[in-house]
């Protein structure tokens, strides 16, 4: 059976085509009894409005784009990303929005901007923060694309952002190691072209200085937020003439690689070296030993960012421009007192 047209629905409901269109798009200027009559006809005829036509009428697509400036190989192997995507898609689905996922590397971003964003194939954009020098972010801001950044940028402030308090979380982690008696504490950071990595490194340094412990730059190694990076960085720390007694690792994914390097060196956590991560991804509780870490509400990051964007699109600007979620310490078995 062919689907009826909007003209035929209007004839059956004894109204104009424009009235049916206003009902479909939930426009307020329709009398309740007329709206009810049109909706009854739509239900009886099992009529489904064409998305393209509805978009042309309302200039809305009910599609938002999640832009992740990473390669697909990283996104599908790091447990951080599925959790944040889940928070976004569940929130959007509840409010009848679809999510278009775009994974692009730095060299692809400008082409993506021209093809997808400038053509307005999407109502708004959720973007995971990437390198500080990302070329697309200033274009989006200048183009006034509705945008929520998941993360922070040190220079571009006039936009909505959602993030965890990364620096405070790192202070919490290193303070825990200090309380266990450790003084020679290493750090495996992420790439320091990213604000997240900078904040977590600075939290590490802040906790040491507040405890009167001098900073040794040889104890700080970049790990790229990958297992391979964490593995290589830990091997470098273990090769030092005087290795650290504890290490703060700026992500749980890197901590998995670090644990592997410790094991291959014939050492054991926490007896030989204590290890603390950041993120509290689901697998952190199942490593050997179970990973002490800093919990950040990853799924809530996604859902909060999606809520901010959808509220903005629907004419309810968020009350806060910058939302910071609180981290917390999760104690497991990978940290112990310093062994003399």
How high is the pLDDT of residue 189? 97
Q: Give the model confidence (pLDDT) of 63-84 as tens digits.
A: 999 988 766 667 778 899 999 9
Q: Give the model confidence (pLDDT) of 177-206 as tens digits.
A: 999 999 999 999 998 989 999 999 999 999
Q: Does residue 21 or residue 324 have the better pLDDT?
A: 324
| Token pair listed for 90 | 């569940």
Q: What is the pLDDT confidence band of residue 210, given thresholds at 50, 70 and 90?
A: very high
Tell me which DSSP letter residue 216 carries: -
Contacts of 212 (CB under 8 A, 6+ apart): none
Whole-number Å distance between alpha carbons of 56 and 71? 33
Q: What is the pLDDT confidence band of residue 260, given thresholds at 50, 70 and 90?
A: very high
How high is the pLDDT of residue 145? 81
**Residue range 296-316: mean pLDDT, rounded:** 95
Q: Which residues pair with 99 in a beta bridge?
A: 64
How high is the pLDDT of residue 52? 46
Examine the pLDDT at 242 and tell me if it is beyond 90: yes
**Which residue ranges form the domains of the chain, and what is each CATH number?**
6-58 (1.10.260.40), 63-164+298-324 (3.40.50.2300), 166-296 (3.40.50.2300)
Whole-number Å distance between alpha carbons of 176 and 280? 16
How high is the pLDDT of residue 133? 75
Q: Are 266 and 296 in contact (CB under 8 A)?
A: no
Q: Which residues pair with 93 in a beta bridge?
A: none
Whole-number Å distance between alpha carbons of 33 and 31? 6
Examine the pLDDT at 297 and tell me if it is beyond 60: yes
Spell 312-330 as b/e; 16+ CB within 10 A means b: bbeeeebeeeebeeebeeb
Examine the pLDDT at 56 and tell me if it is beyond 50: no
Please state, for a pLDDT cut of 70, what percent of the chain lies above it.
89
How high is the pLDDT of residue 135? 72
Q: Give the model confidence (pLDDT) of 4-44 as tens digits.
A: 788 888 999 999 988 888 887 777 778 889 989 998 998 88
How high is the pLDDT of residue 26? 72
Q: Are 206 and 171 in contact (CB under 8 A)?
A: yes
Least confident of 47-56, 172-181, 207-216: 47-56
């Amino acid at each position: 059976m062919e689907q009826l047209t909007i003209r035929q629905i209007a004839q059956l409901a004894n109204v104009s085509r424009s009235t049916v269109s206003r009902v479909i798009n939930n426009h307020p200027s329709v009398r309740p009894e007329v709206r009810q009559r049109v909706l009854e006809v739509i239900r009886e005829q099992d009529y489904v409005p064409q998305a393209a036509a509805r978009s042309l009428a309302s200039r809305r697509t009910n599609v938002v784009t999640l832009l992740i400036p990473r390669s697909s190989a990283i996104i599908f192997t790091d447990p951080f990303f599925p959790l944040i995507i889940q928070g976004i898609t569940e929130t959007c689905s509840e409010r009848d929005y679809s999510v278009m996922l775009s994974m692009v590397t730095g060299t692809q971003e400008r082409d993506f901007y021209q093809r997808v964003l400038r053509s307005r194939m999407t109502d708004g954009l959720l973007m995971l923060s990437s390198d500080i020098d990302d070329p697309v972010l200033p274009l989006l801001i200048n183009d006034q694309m509705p945008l929520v950044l998941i993360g922070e940028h040190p220079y571009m402030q006039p936009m909505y952002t959602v993030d965890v308090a990364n620096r405070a979380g790192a202070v919490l982690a290193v303070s825990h190691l200090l309380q266990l008696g450790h003084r020679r504490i290493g750090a495996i950071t992420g790439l320091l072209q990213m604000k997240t990595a900078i904040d977590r490194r600075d939290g590490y340094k802040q906790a040491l200085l507040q405890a009167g412990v001098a900073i040794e730059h040889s104890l700080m190694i970049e790990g790229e937020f990958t297992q391979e990076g964490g593995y290589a960085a830990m091997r470098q720390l273990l090769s030092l003439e005087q290795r650290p007694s504890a290490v703060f690792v700026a992500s749980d994914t890197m901590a998995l690689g670090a644990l592997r390097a410790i094991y291959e060196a014939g050492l054991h956590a926490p007896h030989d070296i204590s290890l603390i991560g950041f993120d509290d991804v689901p697998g952190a509780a199942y490593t050997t030993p179970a990973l002490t870490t800093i919990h950040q509400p990853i799924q809530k990051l996604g859902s909060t960012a999606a809520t901010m964007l959808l509220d903005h699109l629907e004419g309810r600007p968020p009350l806060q421009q910058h939302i910071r979620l609180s981290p917390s310490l999760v104690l497991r078995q990978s940290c112990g007192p310093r062994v003399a």
